[in-house]
Chain A
Amino acid sequence: MRVYVVDNGGQWTHREWRVLTYLGVESKIVPNTTPFDEIADVDGLVLSGGAPRVGVDASAMGRNGEYIDRADFPVLGICAGHQFMALHLGGDAKPSKVPEFGKARLVVDKHDTLFDGLPGTFDVWESHNDEVAALPPDFERLAHSENCGVQAMRSLKRPLFGVQFHPEVEHTQFGSEIFKNFLKVCEAR
């Protein structure tokens, strides 16, 4: 199975690649300017986090919009990737009232898919000034925290997922399990 990581300039993009590789998936990091046709035959795609504010700056997100529009495989947006996905598909992302840096307590609203088999609350690692303020049409919220209304979301129409927190960072509990659950979706297509 092949799941690539789109590099949006985040500090932990390499960790995202490393988790996937550790889980036995063929993976590589590709620039976010890579033409879609060069990644079209993957089984899944991760849109990495990025520098501060980049998720709400479409001009800094390269071809992420094209990847989301044309993907017939599952896509997981992380942090900036999650915010961009929301904006691109008709939701909204804005500056957070309370930016989160460091550990936060995630509350799972729906155990489906990404949080399948996980506890109802657990610690996650955050690093964001912006957040998803409105879900795109046909998306549902999967988790929240005290200071962030949409910590995770998914589309009900297509295999698109977004997480505000960083599952690739070791301080996030069950980060590897979240990636495994995403890979199950990639396997099931």
Chain B
Amino acid sequence: MRSARDLIAEALGDLQKGETIERALSRILRRYGGTYEDYVRIMSDVRDLASKEKLSNLEAARRIAGQ
């Protein structure tokens, strides 16, 4: 399984217009055979950062992906 950072980066690159990062990440995870647990773990990190730094989930995802 790819790293969380790479998965988030790919989800950001695959984001459709108006789509949430949750949805994009879920799609990318399924593409690589990831589980719901993987989704929960990665999104928890995104949300924790978002809450801590007062960012949106999308902004937090970009920061984790280094964008």
Interface string of A7-44 (1 = CB under 8 A from B): 00000000000000000000000000000000000000
Q: Is the CB of A112 within 8 A of B47?
A: yes
Say whether chain A's binding surface is mostly helix, strand, loop, or mixed: loop
Chain B residues, CB < 8 A from A158: 36
Asked if A157 meets B47 with Cβ closer than 8 Å, knowing A187-B20, A188-B25, the reply is no
Q: Is the CB of B43 within 8 A of A112?
A: yes
Q: Is the CB of B22 within 8 A of A159?
A: no
Q: Is the CB of A184 within 8 A of B44?
A: no
- Counting contact residues on chain B (CB < 8 A from A), the size range is 10 to 19
Pick from B23, B37, B44, B51: contact of A188, CB under 8 Å:
B23
Asked if A157 meets B25 with Cβ closer than 8 Å, knowing A111-B51, A116-B47, the reply is no
CB of B8 to closest CB in A, whole Å: 14
Q: In the assembly, what is the distance between CA of A51 and CA of B6, in Å?
A: 48
Q: How many A-B Cβ pairs are below 8 Å?
A: 31
Q: Is the CB of B20 within 8 A of A116?
A: no
Chain A residues, CB < 8 A from B40: 112, 156
Q: Is the CB of B36 within 8 A of A184?
A: no
Pick from A116, A157, A189: contact of B37, CB under 8 Å:
A157
Chain A residues, CB < 8 A from B36: 157-159
Interface string of A153-165 (1 = CB under 8 A from B): 0001111000000
Q: Is the CB of A189 within 8 A of B26?
A: yes
Q: In the assembly, what is the distance between CA of A112 and CA of B47, in Å?
A: 7
Pick from B22, B39, B47, B51: contact of A187, CB under 8 Å:
B22
Chain A residues, CB < 8 A from B22: 184-185, 187-188
Chain B residues, CB < 8 A from A188: 20, 22-23, 25-26, 39
Chain A residues, CB < 8 A from B26: 188-189
Interface string of B38-64 (1 = CB under 8 A from A): 011001100110010000010000000
Subset of 26 A-B contacts with CB under 8 Å = A111-B51, A112-B40, A112-B43, A112-B44, A112-B47, A113-B47, A116-B47, A116-B57, A156-B37, A156-B40, A157-B36, A157-B37, A184-B20, A184-B22, A184-B23, A185-B22, A187-B20, A187-B22, A187-B23, A188-B20, A188-B22, A188-B23, A188-B25, A188-B26, A188-B39, A189-B26
